[in-house]
A and B are shown apart, each in its own frame.
Chain A
Amino acid sequence: EAGVTQSPTHLIKTRGQQATLRCSPISGHTSVYWYQQALGLGLQFLLWYDEGEERNRGNFPPRFSGRQFPNYSSELNVNALELEDSALYLCASSLDGNGMNTEAFFGQGTRLTVV
């Protein structure tokens, strides 16, 4: 069974451009989380989608947005890219939004570089 898949694996953009990152959760998982991990730093929570709806967002500006599709895959969009947006963006999925003792499985991430 396929795990969480993210695309692209690497993305290079220039400042001011927009980036779109994609995530396909494990089959049957309805919950998708997005995290940012800047070099040398911990995971920062970005967004949580469950059953097609945004359930929560972290402390990031509105230019970070996303959506979840009917098949539970998800997109993360970052507008007006800034140099400090360069990071590894990790997507995770879990079986349900309640998360009670539910393991979250991560994709291998998209490494975004803004130049």
Chain B
Amino acid sequence: RKEVEQDPGPFNVPEGATVAFNCTYSNSASQSFFWYRQDCRKEPKLLMSVYSSGNEDGRFTAQLNRASQYISLLIRDSKLSDSATYLCVVNIYGNKLVFGAGTILRVKS
């Protein structure tokens, strides 16, 4: 089983739609969690950290479910500029950052 698994997509959605991505992780010792965004042929950049209580940043909401070992990212009112690959990232304390393979989002007008 992979350490971090994501649905690769692509998710093709119209502008204004709400879309959700899930990510599961296998190591229960995982301590911190992130969502990164990677645009085509560019380096990944942090979108948001994910906290146990869930957190929101504008149109983006991230949630963590430790019992089920998954995190989610919800994007409301999708914009064309949201088209990218979204990477789920898990940090195992004192170990390493593990990236999921990414979920491709395409927002169409």
8 Å CB contact of A92 from B31, B97, B101: B97
- A104 and B46 contact, CB distance less than 8 A: yes
Cβ of B45: which chain A residues have Cβ within 8 Å of it?
106
Cβ of B100: which chain A residues have Cβ within 8 Å of it?
42
Also in contact, A48 and B101, with CB within 8 A (given A90-B43, A106-B43): no
Give min CB distance, B46 to chain A, whole Å: 5
Cβ of B44: which chain A residues have Cβ within 8 Å of it?
43, 90, 106
Tell me, yes or no, whether A10 is within 8 Å of chain B by CB.
no
Tell me, yes or no, whether B61 is within 8 Å of chain A by CB.
no
Give chain B's interface secondary structure class. strand
List 21 A-B pairs, Cβ < 8 Å. Answer: A35-B99, A42-B99, A42-B101, A43-B99, A45-B98, A55-B95, A90-B44, A97-B94, A98-B93, A98-B94, A99-B32, A99-B94, A100-B31, A100-B32, A100-B91, A101-B49, A103-B34, A104-B46, A104-B89, A106-B43, A108-B43
**Count of inter-chain pairs, beta carbons less than 8 A:** 61
Cβ of A98: which chain B residues have Cβ within 8 Å of it?
93-94
Tell me, yes or no, whether A2 is within 8 Å of chain B by CB.
no
Also in contact, A100 and B96, with CB within 8 A (given A42-B87, A42-B101, A43-B87): no
Of all A-B residue pairs in the complex, the 6 with the closest CB atoms, nearest first, are: A42-B101, A106-B43, A43-B99, A99-B91, A56-B96, A103-B46
Q: How large is the interface on B (under 10, 10 to 19, 20 to 34, 35 or more residues)?
A: 20 to 34
Tell me, yes or no, whether B42 is within 8 Å of chain A by CB.
yes
8 Å CB contact of A101 from B32, B43, B99: B32
Tell me, yes or no, whether A107 is within 8 Å of chain B by CB.
yes
Also in contact, A41 and B101, with CB within 8 A (given A99-B32, A100-B91, A106-B45): yes
